[in-house]
Chains A and B, each alone.
Chain A
């Protein structure tokens, strides 16, 4: 690995450049993709607005407060999807044996996979997510303190790291279960939907599992509470809102271990 340090960087840059050029060659397709991806995120926010059209509050939170939760979630998810969302194609690569080709090249497997299709089209989503977060923070009537400013800066990247870890961890399931299909979606897209609402609306073990077992409550709900200066109706202390970077790092560590173990476990499906 050591002797290829500079060479590896150059190789990644070449992969990246090839992707960018090939996508720019089909302008219409690129614009259509850009618009389509934007639409998907817009509809997520529209759904929240429609639901607030029939109710004044959701789980004890008003629309303006909920939008902070939505903004953190959609900004974090969209950026993570942009950076590592490609890894959700892993099941197909494993099934078709394409992953063999990735492994025999003298570069690390994960970066190669991510660069096999640079989804520039997803940029529109991430920008929209950031815009929603900006609007929500500006309109929620937050009492800005230096601590909250710092949290508003740190929480979105923490959400990105967290969702990116979720993408990688769930994709490794296909190393063990080749035909797992859309199973990973239940945690990735399911996690996005879960984090788009205050966790107070969920009940029982389902909330315990997603919010605290998998840590999704720390992505948007607890940081939003800390930003809004609201006490947690579920009784956790206020400092939990600042725990999101720590939780994100733990998630990243889990993802790294899951990936390493998974790749080692990988056996080609052959052909």
Chain B
């Protein structure tokens, strides 16, 4: 990245390779930064494991005599739960208030001086964080689950790469949502309200508390296409357990891609509007 100061012109001259190099460097820095919290990762894995057991037993109890419920068989439910507990940490659905804190304290001014757009910068850090979480938080539940429950292994070779792509898109969609929630701090003094709404809505509507297939069909379809929430967990997990044919899975990942692009564009728009009215206090 070299040394850059606020007076250096932004790299807008269309050099794609330096852009990728910068993005890659920030991703790597994000990975390293979060890799230092190893004890917290262990504590998180223990918590995810307990909830994996709880949710798995609860959903399995809902299966009928034939062992199916809402289009999932028992093994698919087990995979859905255990992969979901890991994915939850990869997308970091809850608890990110860094941007809101920086806006309130005025430290965000330093972000605006950087030659990288704030949305790009925070996204790169988040992708790095997700990379570490994929190793430290997604792998353990995927290893622990099969010891205690019969899990479903994908039958089609293309499922695994499609799941990984879907999980990456889920990270981007979740980042976009969290960025927008945090960015309300530009207008509101206190972001607790938007934060609470996000925490409440995201867990239920993403398919964490119960697979959205448990809901009436029309409601699930509305949530899938009209809101970004199922793109956070439900879609990648449905892809992994092959709930629907490959073609439907591809279509759902396409919907995720659409949400990812739309949310990132919205983040940039909100950021631009916010910068026009931002007044940082203090000297």
Residues of A within 8 A of B57 (CB): 201-203, 206
Provide the bound-state CA to CA distance between A32 and B193, in Å.
Answer: 6
Given A33-B192, A36-B196, do A186 and B47 touch, yes or no (CB 8 Å)?
Answer: yes
Given contacts A43-B200, A54-B69, A179-B37, contact A190 B50 (CB under 8 A): yes
B-side contacts of A50, CB under 8 Å = 209-210, 214-215
- Bound-state Cα–Cα, A33 to B51, Å: 26
Q: Does any Cβ of A come within 8 Å of B152's Cβ? A: no
Question: Which one of A29, A39, A50, A53 has the highest number of Cβ atoms from chain B below 10 Å of its Cβ?
Answer: A50
User: Could you say which interface size class chain B belongs to?
Assistant: 35 or more
Q: Once the chains bind, are A190 and B200 in contact (CB under 8 Å)?
A: no
Q: Compute how far the CA of A182 lies from the CA of B57 in the bound complex, rounded to whole angstroms.
A: 22
In the complex, whether B261 has a CB less than 8 A from a CB of chain A is: no
CB distance from A25 to the nearest CB of B (A): 12
CB pair A32 B192 closer than 8 Å: yes
Q: Which residues of A contact B (CB under 8 A)?
A: 26, 28-29, 32-33, 35-37, 39-40, 43, 46-47, 50-51, 53-55, 58-59, 177, 179-183, 185-187, 190, 193-194, 197, 201-204, 206
Q: List 23 A-B contacts (CB under 8 A).
A: A33-B192, A36-B197, A39-B196, A39-B200, A43-B200, A43-B204, A46-B204, A47-B204, A50-B210, A51-B59, A51-B214, A54-B62, A55-B63, A58-B61, A179-B40, A181-B39, A185-B47, A186-B47, A186-B51, A190-B47, A193-B51, A206-B53, A206-B57
- Beyond the given pairs A51-B210, A190-B51, A197-B61, 11 more chain A to chain B contacts, judged by CB atoms under 8 angstroms and listed by A's residue number, are A33-B196, A36-B196, A43-B203, A47-B210, A55-B63, A177-B43, A180-B43, A182-B44, A186-B47, A202-B53, A202-B57
Sorted nearest first, the 4 A-B pairs with minimum C-beta distance are: A36-B196, A201-B61, A179-B39, A32-B193
